[in-house]
Amino acid sequence: MSFRIYGQNAPESLVQGSTTSPTPRGRQPLPVVQQSFRYQELEALPHTVRLLLLHPFAFSTDEPIRCNLVHTDLKSQDCKFIALSYCWGNSAAELPLFLNGDVFLVTESLWNALLSLRPKPGAEPIPLWADAICINQQNVPERNMQVQLMTEIYGAAEYVAVHLGPETNTTTLALAQLEVMAEAQAAHDSQNGDTTTIPSMINGTEKGNELYLRWQALVEFLALDYWHRLWIVQEIILSRSAVMYCGTPARVIPWASYQKAMACLTRHSKLLLKFHFMDGYAIPRMNRTWYGVMAAHMESRLEPRGRNSGRTDGVDFVGLMERHRYRKCGEPKDKIYGMLGLVPPEQRHLVEVDYGASLTKVFTGFAGAMIQSTQRLDIICFTRHSPVYERPDRLPSWVPDWAYQRESLSIRSTTVVRLDASRGRRQAPQDLVISGGGYRLCIRGVYIDSVRLCSVTCSLPWNNSGLLLALVSSWMMVHVGASGLKVREETANAGEQFCEAVIFGSGPRLFGQDEYLDKMLQTFRTHQRTDSGYVPLPSTVFEPSSKVKAPVGEAYELGDAVSREIWSLAGNCLAGRRTFITRDQGLLGVGSGYLGNGDVVCVPLGCDTPIVLRALGNGEYKFVSDAYVCGYMDGRAIEELDERRKELQEFVLV
Bridge-partner residues for 254, per DSSP?
243
- Nearest to residue 55, comparing CAs of 8, 109, 124? 124
* Chain centroid, CA 52 distance in Å: 31
Q: Do residues 103 and 180 both lie within one domain?
A: no
How much is the average pLDDT of 50-59?
Answer: 96
**Residue 87 and residue 235 in contact, taking contact as beta carbons nearer than 8 Å:** no
Q: What span, in angstroms and rounded, lies between the C-alpha atoms of 521 and 513?
A: 14
Domain count, the chain: 3
Contacts made by residues 22-31, CB under 8 angstroms, sequence distance 24+: 22/93, 22/94, 22/95, 22/108, 24/95, 24/108, 24/111, 24/112, 24/115, 25/166, 26/166, 27/62, 28/62, 30/95, 30/96, 31/96
615 to each of 409, 453, 502, how far by Cα in Å? 25, 17, 26
Average per-residue pLDDT for the chain? 84
What confidence score (pLDDT) does residue 269 get? 75
Q: Is the pLDDT of residue 286 over 50?
A: no
What confidence score (pLDDT) does residue 295 get? 62
What confidence score (pLDDT) does residue 282 get? 39
Q: Do residues 214 and 79 both lie within one domain?
A: no
What confidence score (pLDDT) does residue 34 get? 76
Single out the residue in 512, 543, 575 at which a domain terminates: 575
Q: Do residues 84 and 214 both lie within one domain?
A: no
Q: Do residues 194 and 85 both lie within one domain?
A: no
Cis ω before 304 (30° cut-off from 0): no
Q: What span, in angstroms and rounded, lies between the C-alpha atoms of 223 and 107?
A: 21
pLDDT-derived band at 78, boundaries 50, 70, 90:
confident
Q: Is the pLDDT of residue 244 over 70?
A: yes
Q: What span, in angstroms and rounded, lies between the C-alpha atoms of 200 and 273?
A: 15
Q: What span, in angstroms and rounded, lies between the C-alpha atoms of 473 and 647?
A: 34
Contacts of 124 (CB under 8 A, 6+ apart): none
Q: Do residues 226 and 284 both lie within one domain?
A: yes
Residue 177 lies in a domain: yes
DSSP sequence for 108-169: HHHHHHHHHHPPPTTSPPEEEE-HHHHS-TT-HHHHHHHHTTHHHHHHHSS-EEEE--S--H
Q: Is the pLDDT of residue 205 over 80?
A: no
Q: Is the pLDDT of residue 592 over 90?
A: yes
* Chain centroid, CA 520 distance in Å: 28
pLDDT-derived band at 190, boundaries 50, 70, 90:
confident
How much is the average pLDDT of 91-100?
Answer: 88
Q: Is the pLDDT of residue 355 over 60?
A: yes
How much is the average pLDDT of 285-308?
Answer: 60
Single out the residue in 308, 334, 358 at which a domain terminates: 308
What confidence score (pLDDT) does residue 614 get? 98
pLDDT-derived band at 456, boundaries 50, 70, 90:
very high
Q: Is the pLDDT of residue 117 over 50?
A: yes
Residue 221 lies in a domain: yes
Among 43-57, 60-74, 273-287, 424-438, which is the least confidently predicted range? 273-287
Bridge-partner residues for 433, per DSSP?
442
Residue 365 lies in a domain: no
How much is the average pLDDT of 26-37?
Answer: 62
What confidence score (pLDDT) does residue 11 get? 34
Q: Is the pLDDT of residue 2 over 70?
A: no
What confidence score (pLDDT) does residue 482 get? 52
Report phi then psi at 448, rounded to 5.
-105, -55
- Nearest to residue 132, comparing CAs of 117, 163, 111? 111
pLDDT-derived band at 488, boundaries 50, 70, 90:
very low
pLDDT higher at 448 or 548 = 448
Which tens digit of pLDDT belongs to each residue from 322-332? 888 888 898 99
**Residue 629 and residue 587 in contact, taking contact as beta carbons nearer than 8 Å:** yes
pLDDT higher at 9 or 379 = 379
What confidence score (pLDDT) does residue 320 get? 87
**Residue 74 and residue 61 in contact, taking contact as beta carbons nearer than 8 Å:** no
Residue 590 lies in a domain: no
Q: What span, in angstroms and rounded, lies between the C-alpha atoms of 496 and 545?
A: 9
Residue 195 lies in a domain: yes
Q: Do residues 13 and 111 both lie within one domain?
A: yes
State percent of the chain over pLDDT 90.
Answer: 53
Bridge-partner residues for 99, per DSSP?
67, 102
- CB burial of 124-148 (b: ≥16 within 10 Å; e: otherwise) equals ebbbbbbbbbbbbeeeeebbbbbbb
pLDDT-derived band at 526, boundaries 50, 70, 90:
confident
Rounded to 10 degrees, what is the CA torsion of 4, 8, 13, 14? -90
How much is the average pLDDT of 83-107?
Answer: 90
Q: Do residues 111 and 223 both lie within one domain?
A: no
Residue 330 lies in a domain: no
Q: Which domain holds residue 134?
A: 4-158
Selection from 32-36, 202-206, 331-335, 341-345 with the highest mean pLDDT: 331-335
Report phi then psi at 600, rounded to 5.
-95, 135
Q: What span, in angstroms and rounded, lies between the C-alpha atoms of 445 and 607?
A: 9
Selection from 201-210, 259-268, 487-496, 540-549 with the highest mean pLDDT: 259-268
pLDDT-derived band at 106, boundaries 50, 70, 90:
very high
Q: Is the pLDDT of residue 581 over 90?
A: yes
- Nearest to residue 260, comparing CAs of 233, 226, 298? 298
- Nearest to residue 571, comparing CAs of 482, 497, 478, 465? 465
Q: Do residues 292 and 188 both lie within one domain?
A: yes
pLDDT-derived band at 361, boundaries 50, 70, 90:
very high
pLDDT-derived band at 500, boundaries 50, 70, 90:
very high
pLDDT higher at 409 or 324 = 324
Rounded to 10 degrees, what is the CA torsion of 9, 12, 17, 23? 100
Which tens digit of pLDDT belongs to each residue from 612-643? 999 999 999 999 999 999 999 999 999 999 99
Residue 187 lies in a domain: yes
Report phi then psi at 99, rounded to 5.
-125, 110
Predicted TM-score (pTM) of the model is 0.84
What confidence score (pLDDT) does residue 391 get? 85
Single out the residue in 286, 308, 330 at which a domain terminates: 308
Q: What span, in angstroms and rounded, lies between the C-alpha atoms of 154 and 52?
A: 15
**Residue 100 and residue 8 in contact, taking contact as beta carbons nearer than 8 Å:** yes
Q: Do residues 176 and 153 both lie within one domain?
A: no
**Residue 268 and residue 198 in contact, taking contact as beta carbons nearer than 8 Å:** yes
The rounded radius of gyration (Å) of the Cα atoms in the chain is 28
Report phi then psi at 73, rounded to 5.
-105, 125
Q: What span, in angstroms and rounded, lies between the C-alpha atoms of 264 and 183?
A: 9
372 to each of 308, 354, 442, 502, how far by Cα in Å? 29, 20, 11, 33
DSSP sequence for 565-606: HHHHHHHHHHBTEEEEEESSS--EEEEETT--TT-EEEEETT
Which tens digit of pLDDT belongs to each residue from 19-28? 333 444 444 4
Q: Do residues 244 and 283 both lie within one domain?
A: yes
What confidence score (pLDDT) does residue 351 get? 94
Q: Do residues 145 and 235 both lie within one domain?
A: no
Q: Do residues 147 and 239 both lie within one domain?
A: no
* Chain centroid, CA 193 distance in Å: 33
End-to-end CA distance of the chain: 54
What confidence score (pLDDT) does residue 294 get? 65
Q: What span, in angstroms and rounded, lies between the C-alpha atoms of 142 and 528?
A: 59
What confidence score (pLDDT) does residue 556 get? 43
3-state SS assignment for residue 635: coil
Residue 400 lies in a domain: no
